[in-house]
Structures are given as C-alpha cells and as structure tokens.
Structure 1
Amino acid sequence: MPPSVYERLFSTLMTDDPSDSASSSRSWRRWVAAGLFLVFFVVVMREVVNPYRGQRFEKIPHGDHVHYVPRDRNPDVSVSRFPTQKPDADERITPDGQVVSRKEGDRAP
C-alpha cells in the first residue's frame, strides 16, 4: 500500500536534506535584499519628492541669479520681489518678500 499524504508530508519534514537548507537560506537572503532595496528606494523617493525638507526657504532660479523664497510664500507676489541673497540665521523672509529680523517667539516653518 502506498504511503498516505500525511506520511509523505511527515517524512519530508523530518528529513534533513541539505538542498532544502540551502534553498531556505537563499530565500532568506532574497527577502533581506528586497527589504534593504525597499528602504533605499523610500529614502531616495522622499528626497526627490521634497528636496527642501527642513529648510526655511527654497532657491528658485530666475535668469542668471537665484531668489530665496519662503515655503509659505504668497503666490500673488512675483518671484522678482524676493531677495537674491541668503538671509542670515537671525533673519527670515516674509511671504511677501521682505527680509525681517527674527523675533524671540518666531519659529521657522
């Protein structure tokens, strides 16, 4: 009488076949490599989607020079109204393009 399905399954699980071990090791390595690739991809895409994360302003090219524009800029104000020099650490750019000194209670966006 041929062995039942359960007997074959049990005998397969109980044998210590080296090829099974190598196959599971390869599978584990593939999952780790896929996970590392996924983490790398997410980090790169996050930087691509928002390259100015954590900065108070963006640099916008305008002809042969650059304007520094705050992240909360007023869209009705022309880019040419914003400064072409980077503001100091104790200064900030208003949404309308004015450079003002930063007050104690003021926080960077």
Structure 2
Amino acid sequence: MNGAANIDQGLGVSIDLRATPKPGSFYRGKRHAGLIDVDQKGAFPVSQYWEPIYHDDTNEIILDPDEFYILASREAVTIPASHAAEMVPFNPLVGEFRCIMRAFSTRLWHE
C-alpha cells in the first residue's frame, strides 16, 4: 500500500479456504491442556495445547461454539506500537469472534 491507510470505517480481514492451508494456519485449542507461563517463551510444544484443523474439498470449516480457535488471516496486518486495535464482533447470532495477535502465540509455542 502506498500512502496512508484509510481505516475510518474499519479494515476487513478474511481467511482463504480455497487454498491449501499452510501449517499453523488453523488450530483448535485442546481442552484441559494445563497452564502456561507466559514468561517462558518458546517452551511449549504446539501439539500439547493445539490441534491442527484441515478443511476438505467443500472449502468450509465448521467451528464449534464452545471451542477456542486460532485462524490465520489471508491479509497481513501490522499495527504500529503507537496504536491499538480491536476486532468488532460479528453478528452475535452467528457467534462471537475476537482477534488475538499471532505475535503473542508464536513467541510461546514451538514445533
């Protein structure tokens, strides 16, 4: 993008289910996986806390309402240190979606 971004009305992000997902694109949190110490960066194996999600030829994934997911966006989003961002919830009849920065998750987990 050249010039200043116009984000007054928000910025849409999406996931691309038509492409083969890259490793680490979609995860569901494992229940009862135990506590983590956020000061121990890179100390936790991904497979102990997360299970990968794959989609089939329908280009769909079904999200269970009581589960926690990490879904990588198709678009790269960078937020300057001098700014803050939040994700506006989708239609609550569909479910609640919130944003968690990948920088947080990549520092805690290792393959």
Q: Same fold (TM over 0.5)?
A: no
Structure 1 or 2, whichever has the larger Rg, is 1
Higher normalized contact order (CA 8 Å, seq sep 6+, divided by chain length):
2
More helix by share: 1
TM-score (norm 1): 0.23
